[in-house]
Structure 1
Amino acid sequence: MATAHVLVFPAPAQGHLNCFLHFATALLRAGLHVTFLHTHHNLRRLGAAAAAAAAAISPRLRFLSVPDGLPDDDPRRVDGLPELMKGLRTTGSAAYRALLASLVVRAAAYGRASSPTAYCRSPSTSPRSSACRRSHSGSLIELGELPFPGRGGDDGLDERVRGVPGMESFLRRRDLPIQCRHLAATTTHGDPLLTSVVAATAHSRNARALLNTAISLEHPALTHLARHMRDVFAIGPLHAMSPAPAAATSLWRHDDGCMAWLDSQPNQSVVYVSLGSLTDDPLDQLNKPLNTDMAGNNHDDALLRQALLDVAGAGACVVPWAPQRDVLRHRAVGCFLTHSGWNSTAEGVAEGVPMVCWPFFADQQINSRLVGAVWGNRVDMKDACERGVVERSVKEAMESGEIRRC
């Protein structure tokens, strides 16, 4: 019998690459062949590390790539996501279909046993998403919850949101993706990211969903999804069940020097701060909570490092990109100040680290509410990130016995 061959095509962002490669590792352990599809840009960034990682994981794994439709010198920042999505739908889609056809034809011509028999791509079948994010996107528009009634903006953000089974008791308007606050009253599709989510779920009745979550974490949302989709599988947390080597998943090179520094610190004494891979203008974001003025090239790692060291002094260690899973499981880490991306949320929960949440966009708002209001192992400081709030939140997370027991 021919061995199944799965083509895995994640969205070309760090968070998607992380969990999709963990997913690919699980498929390889099951004896399948996997072709992992990057964009040309990302595969070039991975460089030799990609080939070395593929060889280390399995001889049945290979990396291929397609164009994303953007110029080579495009910075591919978060504010350029609409252009990236457009490029993938046009240039990338054509190249993807041609590649898929060539794989099938090549397998038939050479009698290979591992022709592609299944395809996994985001967002239609997405191991990255939480169940809660996927359960509410379209129905809120149908119910008239979006756009927000009234004047919009920040008015009424603490009002409860109707129409999300299992979440009516705690979900507020401020917990929905930040884009929801700025929708015009005359349209529900003004934001390209929301539009893509609605489009991806509009025809889900016959779709299968693979979600990087666990029944114990999101049982109500999973139950709701199961009523509206062909199949729903909770297959996470993937990073704990089938971890891929860190070098294979990261577009940035890990700086392991922080681990030796952590070894020298007392137990549960360190606050680990990471705002993810897509947070725009990190210096500007940190000005307010740190009560400082860090101006300059906001994307200069050396400048950011020096600015943070100037504020924190000798008691800090700043690296461009940390091996997060190793950091979170280190005995010295007592708190995680996070942007609440789903990967970071799942990793923090799995390691039992108290978290302080500072969400920015997309699913981060709802993730922070879920963990703070339902799971109870986080302090949610969305929309109130000032120096005093940060100090009180970190102190509560570090010292609260109730949070640590969760």
Structure 2
Amino acid sequence: MDQLGTFHSHVLIFPFPVQSHVNVMLNLAEILTLSHIQVTFLIPEYIQDDGPRFKRIFERYPGFYFEPISDGLPFNHPRTGDRVKELFESIDATTKPEFKNKLNSGDLISDGRAPLSCIIADGIMSFVIDIANDFKLPTILFRPFSATCFWTLFCVPKLIEAGELPIKGESNMDKLVSSVPSMEGVLRLRDLPSFCRVENVSDSQLQHVVSETYRATRAYGLILNTSEDLEESALGQIRTKIPQIYTVGPLHAYLKRLKALPTSSGLIEEEINCLLWLDDQPLKSVIFVSFGNMTVLKRHQFLEFWHGLVNSGKPFLWVIPNNLINDECEIITEFMKDGEKRGKVVDWAPQEEVLSHPATGCFLTHGGWNSTLESVYEGVPMICWPFYADQQVNSRLVGEVWKNGVDMKDKCDRRIVEKMVRELMEEGRREEFMKLAQGMAKLSRKSVSVGGSSYNNLNRLIDDIKIMSHQK
């Protein structure tokens, strides 16, 4: 990849307005900027001033521009759990027309910016394709979850036709599904994306995500934050429908090499204290616990996890954001006080730094794709408790395909939590999990190294964008 210099291309990047999607598309945006490509990033208004990263990017890269855009919801809207449906509706009513107005206004090519070469849009917002066509701009869609989940959603009509959807009750959730080619013998009903857990297949949210998946066939190409080694089977199937695929993951790994600043630069004092606490812990002794920023726990679920961790006797670092518990939030205060005796409780932590820390021995996670890739890359075994969207599929990959961790979906019991922590952290199967996790890490690191499949595909994406600029 080239170093910074004269900009000949200009890409508009448009993420779905939730933090995890914004984060991974920011990684791609930084990489493109470091490769002589000018970037305008449509940042959701409600998070544009959230944290030091945005300011650091803006100041560091002269070819990087932030452009705020509204998702139409109040700033204090949770945008989590069941209320994501409201976000879909608001984007259609507010964001879609505002996006078209921005393209019409000429503001996106002001301040000396070059004409747009193409648009990279989140795959859940395929309306961009039609609007971009009106401006003769090619659209490349970016799906920030696993290729296996993408392929599973593509197969939902087959699942319905075969009578495997809708799911009929809870008694047969371990039945293997047969209508997702290449995943026979792997996916059970309980491993299908959470959108599939509906009584009626005409459910609006299910139909929305399936139609968005199908519309990806109309885009110029599809970017997936994965690698050939991680998801070879699913990728082979997707290519029969969408030949132009760029498998470029894990994206966060490139910035470890490309950025001149160390990855911990810009961390606030609280985050530094978190890492200093880890410095005092023995090698591979700490359970890192984080359920992301969209998971919502019920009170009894929080208590089961808490007691399971305490009963395991292992030190833990647990990230508990304000939105984690949906009722009786005052219980957190008392548990945080007690947590200082058992481990450390914080409301945010620098996840990449924590996972790469020598003291971290296990990751209790919701199984979001960003978190999964970061854990795979660092060779940290996982305990997965999926909550939403693709997480059900991802956790099955961890527990059944890669076997670098365990999957405890649909269970929330302190005895199971304690058992799984001990299984991954104590003698017995610990060495087996560590060996498999380290093997996955080697494959992941190889893919982003010079000559690796993801490295080559990322360079192909960069070259294709530059070609688009010359065709204007």
Q: Which residue of structure 1 aligns with residue 153 of structure 2?
A: 137
CA contact (8 A) 1:353 1:404 kept: yes
Instruction: Measure, in 2, the Cα distance between the counterparts of 1:254 and 1:363.
Output: 31
Once the two structures are superposed, what CA deviation does each residue of 1:24-77 show, in whole Å capped at 9, x if it has no partner? 11111111000010122121445x763343112x11011111111123443433
Residue 145 of structure 1, CA deviation: 6.1
CA contact (8 A) 1:145 1:161 kept: no
Letter in 1 for 2:235: L
Q: Which residue of structure 2 aligns with residue 211 of structure 1?
A: 224
Match of 1:25 among 24, 30, 34: 30
Match of 2:350 among 301, 306, 323: 323
Residue 127 of structure 1, CA deviation: 4.5
Match of 2:15 among 1, 10, 22: 10
Paired residue secondary structure (1:330): coil
Residue 14 of structure 1, CA deviation: 1.2
In the alignment, does 2:385 pair up with 1:358?
A: yes
User: With structure 1 as the length reference, what TM-score do the two structures score?
Assistant: 0.88
Q: Which residue of structure 2 aligns with residue 339 of structure 1?
A: 366
Kindly, what percent of the aligned residue pairs are identical?
36
Paired residue secondary structure (2:271): coil
CA contact (8 A) 2:364 2:384 kept: yes
Instruction: Measure, in 1, the Cα distance between the counterparts of 2:162 and 2:345.
Output: 41
Residue 214 of structure 1, CA deviation: 0.6
Once the two structures are superposed, what CA deviation does each residue of 1:107-146 show, in whole Å capped at 9, x if it has no partner? 5xx9x56121110111251241210011121323234268
Match of 2:103 among 100, 103, 110: 100
Aligned length: 394
Q: Which residue of structure 2 aligns with residue 80 of structure 1?
A: 83
Q: Which residue of structure 1 aligns with residue 275 of structure 2?
A: 259
In the alignment, does 2:133 pair up with 1:128?
A: no
Q: Which residue of structure 2 aligns with residue 235 of structure 1?
A: 248
Once the two structures are superposed, what CA deviation does each residue of 1:135-178 show, in whole Å capped at 9, x if it has no partner? 12132323426874687121211111112222112110010123
Instruction: Measure, in 1, the Cα distance between the counterparts of 2:248 and 2:328.
Output: 35
Once the two structures are superposed, what CA deviation does each residue of 1:327-383 show, in whole Å capped at 9, x if it has no partner? 000000111000000000000000000111111111001100011111111111112
Match of 2:209 among 169, 175, 197: 197
Structure 1 residue runs of 4 or more that deviate by more than 6 Å after TM superposition:
244-250, 299-302
Q: 1:181 to 1:167 in 2, by over 3 A?
A: same
Q: 1:137 to 1:150 in 2, by over 3 A?
A: closer
Q: Which residue of structure 1 aligns with residue 443 of structure 2?
A: none
CA contact (8 A) 2:81 2:294 kept: yes
Q: 1:284 to 1:114 in 2, by over 3 A?
A: farther
Residue 315 of structure 1, CA deviation: 2.7
Paired residue secondary structure (2:252): helix
Paired residue secondary structure (2:66): strand
CA contact (8 A) 1:247 1:253 kept: no
Range that drifts further, 315-324 or 127-136: 127-136
Residue 202 of structure 1, CA deviation: 2.1
Instruction: Measure, in 2, the Cα distance between the counterparts of 1:151 and 1:366.
Output: 16
Instruction: Measure, in 1, the Cα distance between the counterparts of 2:265 and 2:25.
Output: 11
Instruction: Measure, in 1, the Cα distance between the counterparts of 2:108 and 2:41.
Output: 18
Letter in 2 for 1:119: I
CA contact (8 A) 1:3 1:113 kept: no
In the alignment, does 2:399 pair up with 1:396?
A: no
User: With structure 2 as the length reference, what TM-score do the two structures score?
Assistant: 0.76
Once the two structures are superposed, what CA deviation does each residue of 1:280-300 show, in whole Å capped at 9, x if it has no partner? 1465531233359xxx99469
Q: Which runs of 5+ in 1 are unaligned?
A: none
Q: Which residue of structure 1 aligns with residue 305 of structure 2?
A: 289
Q: Which residue of structure 1 aligns with residue 67 of structure 2?
A: 64
Instruction: Measure, in 2, the Cα distance between the counterparts of 1:338 and 1:375.
Output: 16
Letter in 2 for 1:168: E
- Note the aligned Cα RMSD (angstroms): 3.1
Q: Which residue of structure 1 aligns with residue 410 of structure 2?
A: 383
CA contact (8 A) 1:153 1:181 kept: no
Residue 18 of structure 1, CA deviation: 1.2
Q: Which residue of structure 2 aligns with residue 153 of structure 1?
A: 169
Instruction: Measure, in 2, the Cα distance between the counterparts of 1:85 and 1:159.
Output: 31
Instruction: Measure, in 2, the Cα distance between the counterparts of 1:105 and 1:197.
Output: 29
Instruction: Measure, in 1, the Cα distance between the counterparts of 2:285 and 2:118.
Output: 47
Instruction: Measure, in 2, the Cα distance between the counterparts of 1:29 and 1:151.
Output: 47
Instruction: Measure, in 2, the Cα distance between the counterparts of 1:334 and 1:70.
Output: 39
CA contact (8 A) 2:7 2:63 kept: no
Q: Which residue of structure 2 aligns with residue 166 of structure 1?
A: 182
Instruction: Measure, in 2, the Cα distance between the counterparts of 1:254 and 1:21.
Output: 23
Residue 233 of structure 1, CA deviation: 1.3
Paired residue secondary structure (1:205): helix
Q: Which runs of 5+ in 2 are unaligned?
A: 1-5, 127-140, 309-321, 437-472
Letter in 2 for 1:203: R
